[in-house]
Amino acid sequence: MIKVLIPTTLRSFTDQNSELLLEGATVREVIAALADEYPNTKKAIFDENGVPRPFVNIFVGENNIKKLNGYDTALKDGDTVMLIPAIAGGAPEKSLISEERAEKLTNDEIMRYSRHLLLKEIGVKGQKKLKAAKVLIVGLGGLGTPLAQYLAAVGVGTLGLIDFDEVDSSNLQRQVIHGTRDVGRPKVASAKDSIKQINPLVKVETYNTMLTAENALEIIEQYDVVADASDNYKTRYLVNDACVLLGKPDVFGAMYQFEGQTSVYYAKEGPCYRCMYPAPPPAGLVPSCAEGGVIGVLPGIIGTIQANEVIKLIVGGGESLIGRLMVLDAWKMRFRELKIDKDPDCPICGKHKTITELEEYDYEEFCGIKKQQEEEAPVESITAKELHRRLVAGEEITIVDVREPHERAIVKFPNAKVIPIGQLARRQNELNPDIDTVFICKEGKRSILAVNTLREAGYKGPMYNLKDGINTWARDVDKTMPQY
């Protein structure tokens, strides 16, 4: 039997099973067995032509099957096959900071950083380089919090903070750089105040804006290292591409529920993000933390690992995560390390580059945002007020809650049928195609995916999406209902 490990982002297609025992002599046979046992995985893993989607990497042990024999890689009893979707050793021989740039330490700084100075791997020489270094943190949410706090504490001379969002009360469960009094403030302003409390010697540059193809090169060019703490694929590919074009290292982190990924993508020394993930998942397939949740301590674990990688790049030495992907399952407290190889066909760092200018590259189209918008157009939406009016009028409407049962425990929608999105296709016979069906979720994104899923499965009844999700019902109709 072959053990198949299913990541959190794909477990909705396997009835929440994280480990499966399947039979097969090759990877191809095992994946086929997976699809036979859980037909919904076909949508997640394969495209409409039956070709595996490029955002899913498959490993046997610690090796990507791309570097073995592909889907014909032979398996033996007891082997482990792991699916790694988008949600890595070695180190540069030299520090990123030249000796000429290293800055002298004051007596106060010697006292403040004395525990670093006692480490021969860092010492006075390394601390001087930390003082001279400039690090850009993209995103001041869960991952950006420990990055900013620890890089400030260890004495990185200049920190750049870029984020266009404001602090929300739902952020406070994990984004501990912000406090209750900061709700409503720009995250960059709140984070800057906290950093100054931690270490007033650090210079902080803030960018209360979105990173775009128009400003990325200008901003990133000023920094030695970029720490990517973003939460969307468009920004991740943009950061990667800008770093490749400018020759900067991209210290990457990502997380979802209990799982985290960390690597250092540095095209000068190894693979870039596109080498690992040539394309993102289809828009709407992989939920965000806002939809799926995240355990509060996970950003601290992954973010501090990112901070550790930043420090090593600055001072030099150690074993970097260049060429390695570190995967953490915090619920089971298991770390796995997977190898990443440079892709010679990578469009930005390979032998035949096709991406040479950021402004000429359409990131929204690449990440499926435009396609999703086009696909969403025919999905009819209904507002919370209109749905309420029709229900009060006594109209017969089926309401389907596509959230997972544990999420429904937070707040229940009255008289809703519960069908998690991974079960919709096989349970469509529970719906009456002669009456309207309204699908609801937290924010109105999974419900759109639900409509499209049932359409693909052949369901012909009238379907609607509750616009902006159950939270808008709490705002506009039932103010006693909690928002989350």
Q: Which of 272, 346, 367, 441 is catalytic?
A: 441
Alpha carbon of residue 456 to chain centroid: 27
Q: Which of 243, 275, 289, 367 is catalytic?
A: 289
Distance CA 252, CA 423 (A): 33
Strands (E), 283-365: 324-329, 334-339
The amino acid occupying position 333 is M
Q: List the structure tokens of 212.
A: 């775009």
Q: How far apart (Å, rounded) are the C-alpha atoms in residues 419 and 217? A: 45
- Per DSSP, which regions of 1-114 are E strands? 2-5, 19-22, 56-60, 63-64, 80-85
CB-CB contact of 148 with 203 (8 Å): no
- CA quadruple 302, 305, 307, 313: dihedral, nearest 10: -140
Grouping H, G, I as helix, E, B as strand and the rest as coil, residue 22 is strand
Tell me if residue 272 is catalytic: no
CA distance 23 to 45: 18
Active site residue 289: yes
Q: Tokens representing 22? A: 């399947």
- β-sheet with 436-440: strand ranges across: 381-382, 463-466, 436-440, 397-401, 417-418
Question: Are 434 and 479 spatial neighbours (Cβ–Cβ below 8 Å)?
Answer: no
Give the whole-angstrom CA distance, residue 366 versus residue 389. Answer: 40
Tokens linked to 344: 């010679």
Active site residues: 289, 441
